[in-house]
Amino acid sequence: MSMHLEGPWLSTTGKRKGKTKFRNADEARKARELEADWHALQKKHGIEQEQRKQRAALDRTVYQPPKLTYRGMDAPRIPSLNKGMDSAPATKAAPKVYTGTKIKGIGTMHKSNAVPIFTDDEAKDIASMRR
């Protein structure tokens, strides 16, 4: 839906209004008078819009993010501890093999459920279960 082309009424750019056109000189004169009255009323109550905008713009400062201190910029460089290959080389672990005598084997009770078998009776029970 967002890929459809829509008209300019949905655009967020170009929202500035152009110069207003009046039907005749009388309407233009009335609009100028109304605007002058509005500015006079604002000035009477101490609201001078243009000066306030200019003052706010002059007082505003450009945002400067704080300096980031990454390792190596401001902090002193601390070298890593290098032990080299003398400490302990990485070797393959020994395979895990059961060396005890308690488990007789592994049986399948249901589907692929592996169950340890400790006695001959357990093996017979698992073998005789209904599938």
pLDDT tens figures, 48-61: 777 777 788 888 88
* Residue 18 confidence (pLDDT) above 90: no
DSSP 114: E
Buried b (16+ CB within 10 A) or exposed e, 58-84: eeeeeeeeeeeeeeeeeeeeeeeeeee
Predicted TM-score of the model (pTM): 0.29
Which pLDDT does position 131 carry in this prediction? 56
* Residue 2 confidence (pLDDT) above 70: no
